[in-house]
Amino acid sequence: MRVIAGDRLLAAPGRDPATGPAEIGVTDGLVAGVAAGERDDAGPGSLLLPALANGHDHGRFFSPLTFGAGDQPLETWLPALALQPDLDQHLTALAYLARLARRGVAATMHLHRARPVDVLVDEAAAICAAAEQVGVRLAFAVPLQDRNHVAYAYACGAGGEFDDVGPPWRPATVPSPATLVGAVEAIASAHTSQNVTVQYGPLGPQWASDALLAAVAEGSARTGRRIHLHLLETRRQREWADAAHPEGLVVHLDRLGLLSPRLSVAHGVWLRPAEFALLAERGVTVVVNTSSNLRLRSGFAPVAGLLDAGVRIGMGLDGATLDGDDDAFRELRLLALLHAGTDLDPRLPPAAVFRAAIDGGAFAVHGGPGPWGLVPGAPADVVALDGDALARDVLAPYRDDLTLLLARGTSALVRHLWVAGRPVVRDGIAVGVDEGAVLAELRARLAALPLPLPGAAALPALQQRLRHHYRTGGHGAPSTDGDATGWKRAPAPP
């Protein structure tokens, strides 16, 4: 039996108070038992807690800013992001996953960018191999898209408004649902392991036809394979949904058979209270990406309302944390602060915040986080922080690790990470990969890119057309009611 020992233990943050020196016994990747201990393998002053999970991401190592895609609304940001060149997928994933591990993240969702099917199969292999090498848990969500490549159109396929647009924004050919679902099965049978799971990744209802979504729902019910998709991230997606599905988009997805505990949805910013109960009833997980929602002008997810309705919440980084550094602890704080509300009691209590950042994200990634907290039977995914640095100037009687983590925890405090009891980060260094060498190679490839990037010259005109498309309701008749967060929309400009 392997033992993970530390000075202090926060076994289930928000539920149990921190305890003194503790030893966590690990058997077959699971916590076998927790006992008081004397060893301090994790270093003096270490604070052990369950590792965080990133319930929604895309595996970008370099920021979109690197390639000229500055923060802006999603609908004009996506075509800028599409110019991002392909550096080596394996090296990119190694660098990205090692950085996440150093941030205290043991499990991550990787929803890949839409690619031709043959390319996708190769890239999936490179990324899954990187996860095995780094040692973190990865859900590879296979991107599935068969419509609305350039813009959401109310009458899908009928408008032809953007038919003149080609690659990289619109592919030359669009695979059938059967081809796309077949690719998922091929990737899953090649790469599923203890650390890696493969999921269906329909990019979002506006980007996947009903035939594709129905095929995914059928495949998921048959195989038990999980599904991850973007849902109602932006105001314009809500407006499209209201026009395309007057009966309600969530009801429509339910009729397609998509809503089940196997489904996790990212964002949900524009979900309405009337939709919360159905998501809760079906056991769907909503992964909240607070920083990303701010940076891409999407708004504030109705987190408290979803929790009140009984919806499981996860936390995602979406490659767009406030400082662009994947600091999962800072993201946790933003989630807590932005959704705390103004009542005497926080609308999002600490237990719910940590549950989202640990358990909810893990549920989205692998569907089976086990019992909550570092208790027997739970995965032995453990992060050790420098607890003395966290408590640095706090007088001893007032030291409360939970309060301190919420108030000023950052990923800079991460010392070690174990995934299924195996060491993945030691003393701030990812042990499975030579990060320095990987970074040097990636930077060399970046420096060798021919500039300007292909398509850059045509981008501003396309973005201008997109603004016109959405302003004039090309995605459907704009709705006029208040939004789900209780914030009143600005009146439409004259």
Enumerate binding residues for Zn ion (CB under 5 A): 318
Backbone φ and ψ for 473, nearest 5 degrees, come out as 75, 30
Taking the C-alpha atoms of residue 324 and residue 61, their distance in angstroms, rounded to an integer, is: 10
Residue 199 beta carbon to Zn ion: minimum distance, rounded to whole angstroms: 14
DSSP string of 385-409, one letter each residue: EEHHHHTTT--GGG--HHHHHHHH-
Minimum distance, C-beta of residue 244 to Zn ion, in the bound complex (Å): 21
104/201 with CB nearer Zn ion: 201
Residue with tokens 């997980």: 285
Q: In whole angstroms, what is the distance from residue 130 CA to residue 98 CA?
A: 9
Distance in angstroms (rounded) separating the CA atoms of residues 171 and 149? 8
Element of type H or E holding 243: helix 235-244
> Would strands 30-36 and 2-6 be described as parallel, antiparallel, or unpaired?
unpaired
Q: Which residue is nearest to Zn ion (CB)?
A: 318
CB atoms within 10 A of CB 55: 31
* Residue closer to Zn ion, measured from CB, 213 or 287: 287
Whether the CB-CB separation of 204 and 232 falls below 8 Å is answered with: no
Smallest distance, Zn ion to C-beta of residue 252, A? 21
DSSP secondary structure letter of residue 83 = T
**Nearest CB to Zn ion, comparing residues 60 and 469:** 60
Between 31 and 253, whose beta carbon lies closer to Zn ion?
A: 253
- The amino acid at residue 375 is V
| Nearest residue (CB) to Zn ion, 318 versus 359 | 318
Dihedral, CA of residue 340, residue 109, residue 132 and residue 423, to nearest 10: 10
Residue 75 or 318: the one with the smaller Cβ distance to Zn ion is 318
Nearer to Zn ion, 267 or 312 (CB): 267
C-alpha dihedral (64, 67, 68, 70), degrees to nearest 10: 10
Kindly state the smallest distance separating residue 327's Cβ from Zn ion, in Å: 18
For residues 41 and 31, give the distance between their C-alpha atoms in angstroms, rounded to a whole number: 17
Q: How far is CA 330 from the centre of its chain?
A: 15
- Rounded Cα–Cα distance for residues 222 and 216 (Å): 10
CB of 56 to Zn ion, least distance (A): 6
The encoded tokens of residue 379 equal 């995965």
Q: Least distance in Å: CB of 326 to Zn ion?
A: 14
Report the nearest approach of Zn ion to the CB of residue 13 (Å): 26
Q: How far is the CB of 249 from Zn ion (least distance, A)?
A: 18
The nearer residue to Zn ion, 318 or 386, going by C-beta atoms, is 318
